Structure 1
Amino acid sequence: MTIHHLAENNSVLNTFIAELRDVTTQKDRLRFRRNIERIGEVLGYELSKTLKFSEKEVNTPLGTSKINLPEENVVICSILRAGIPLHNGLLNYFDKAENSFISAYRHHPNNDEEFEILVEYIASPSLEGKTLILADPMMATGRSFVNVLKALERLGKPEKIHLVSVIGAQEGIDYVSEHFPENSTLWIATVDKQLDERGYIVPGLGDAGDLAYGSKLQH
């Protein structure tokens, strides 16, 4: 798997990441969602540089202009619910993309720290021969991405797979790298070194879904 870690180079992206982490700024849900969306835009822009392009002609009021435009059939698949702002950021740049939505959540069957990832809902077009962008802001253990990939197998084999995430733990990145096809690519804003005993990213930013949309009843 090819990994693009954008925070390795300083840019305005650092500002968006800092505000996402900051406990004071997090109190503004609108800004929290917007920062994830903006990070999605940055990641989508960088990702777009690797797509196939072909020359097209565009008619202007004064003549004809030739320009290279992307030609791949893109499907953006976000993992509900935290993935929605990230999905919107990607869709702002890939506005002609098809869209897919899938649920994946941590289920604690014994009401302790042990959990399993359950996938219960999929709404998606065919993925056969297309470019699949899987979006989830947090890559902790990596198990959500892997379980989602398995759930999507019946919808066809993508030609390419791009994973897009805001914050990941190195352990989760290693796990995903082991289970995704070798030609997959990860686009991630920043990487933290470790997980805590509950499998949450440290220092991370907390629960992205709750911070974006409010707290929920636990399963």
Structure 2
Amino acid sequence: MANLPDNVHVSQHPCLLAKLSQLRSQSTPPRDVKGLIHDIALILGCEALAKELSSTPGPTDVTPLGYEFQTHQLAPGSVSLVPILRSGLGMIEAIQTLLPNPVPVHHLGLYREPETLHPVEYYNNLPNHLTAGGGSGSGPSELAIVLDPVIATGGTCAAAIQTLREWGAKRIIVLSVLGAASGVKAAAAEWPAGVEIWLAGVDEELTDRGMLKPGLGDVGDRLFLTIGK
């Protein structure tokens, strides 16, 4: 995809592209929508984490045959998943499957105000969010992995990036199924030095309601059967 920032990566995996085409179709039933989002997140996560993470030598262990071997540990060691409610919930299980150990899941609730399309935060369970000291809970993660299936205007993604940066995350990876070119550029510009955005596909246009064109509809509505609410 031409003219995208260096910190934006669009997959060309043939299986992922085929699954994205299936997800776009209005005839795809809700059960298949859930499975396709999981599969796309899994493939995209494999590509992104292979490039963005590394491993370090760990302690030696012993195989069932009694031979010693060198273990490997994930680096960085402090990782968290940050799904954007609601639709980001559909990507959690895939990324949890990839990671070798359980990691915290911190939810952010953001929606676009219908008239202005500006993001509004309505829920945040980051531990010790924006506190300078005291209190209990975990500190910020070295790496936060944002799960947001669709980047439209980019406002919601940018707001999430800013929130995590203020929280103290050192690096952020955004995993998204589909993005609008203009919105992806806006989100990527929020913190170019600390953010990498990975997508399965990019659309060039937005409708006057801020929806991707051709897009894939409202992912949250398709996942949770709330179309026409």
Superposed pair shares fold, TM > 0.5: yes
Kept after mapping to 2: 8 A contact 1:139/1:169: yes
> What amino acid is aligned across from residue 24 of structure 2 in structure 1?
R
TM-score, length basis structure 2 = 0.84
> What amino acid is aligned across from residue 37 of structure 2 in structure 1?
I
Q: Tell me, what secondary structure is at the counterpart of 2:122?
A: coil
Corresponding residue for 2:73?
Answer: 69
User: 2: CA distance between counterparts of 1:167 and 1:207?
Assistant: 12
User: 2: CA distance between counterparts of 1:107 and 1:35?
Assistant: 28
Corresponding residue for 2:106?
Answer: 100
Kept after mapping to 2: 8 A contact 1:2/1:183: no
The one of 164, 172, 177 equivalent to 2:183 is 172
Corresponding residue for 1:148?
Answer: 160
Corresponding residue for 1:4?
Answer: 9
Equivalenced residue count is 209
User: 2: CA distance between counterparts of 1:116 and 1:180?
Assistant: 18
What 5-or-longer segments of structure 2 have no aligned partner?
Answer: 1-5, 128-137
The alpha carbon displacement at 1:103 in A equals 0.6
Q: Deviations over 1:102-141 (max 9, x none)?
A: 1111223xxxx53332111112344535111111000001
Q: Which moved more, 1:160-169 or 1:116-125?
A: 116-125
Kept after mapping to 1: 8 A contact 2:161/2:190: no
What 5-or-longer segments of structure 1 have no aligned partner?
Answer: none
The alpha carbon displacement at 1:149 in A equals 2.7
Label 1:144 to 1:187 Cα distance change in 2 as closer, same or farther (>3 A). same
Q: Which moved more, 1:90-99 or 1:195-204?
A: 90-99
Corresponding residue for 1:45?
Answer: 46
Corresponding residue for 1:33?
Answer: 34
Q: Tell me, what secondary structure is at the counterpart of 2:97?
A: helix
> What amino acid is aligned across from residue 17 of structure 1 in structure 2?
L
Q: Deviations over 1:49-84 (max 9, x none)?
A: 121311233321111222433132111000000111
Label 1:191 to 1:144 Cα distance change in 2 as closer, same or farther (>3 A). same
Q: CA RMSD in A?
A: 2.0
User: 2: CA distance between counterparts of 1:121 and 1:210?
Assistant: 19
Corresponding residue for 1:137?
Answer: 149
User: 1: CA distance between counterparts of 2:13 and 2:94?
Assistant: 20
Corresponding residue for 1:24?
Answer: 27
**Equivalent residue runs for 1:72-91 within 5 Å:** 72=76, 73-91=78-96
Kept after mapping to 1: 8 A contact 2:79/2:141: no
User: 2: CA distance between counterparts of 1:46 and 1:37?
Assistant: 14
User: 2: CA distance between counterparts of 1:193 and 1:141?
Assistant: 11
Deviating beyond 4 angstroms after TM superposition, the runs of 4 or more aligned structure 1 residues are none
Label 1:30 to 1:127 Cα distance change in 2 as closer, same or farther (>3 A). farther
Q: Which moved more, 1:180-189 or 1:139-148?
A: 180-189
User: 1: CA distance between counterparts of 2:38 and 2:18?
Assistant: 13
User: 2: CA distance between counterparts of 1:129 and 1:117?
Assistant: 24
Kept after mapping to 2: 8 A contact 1:75/1:127: no
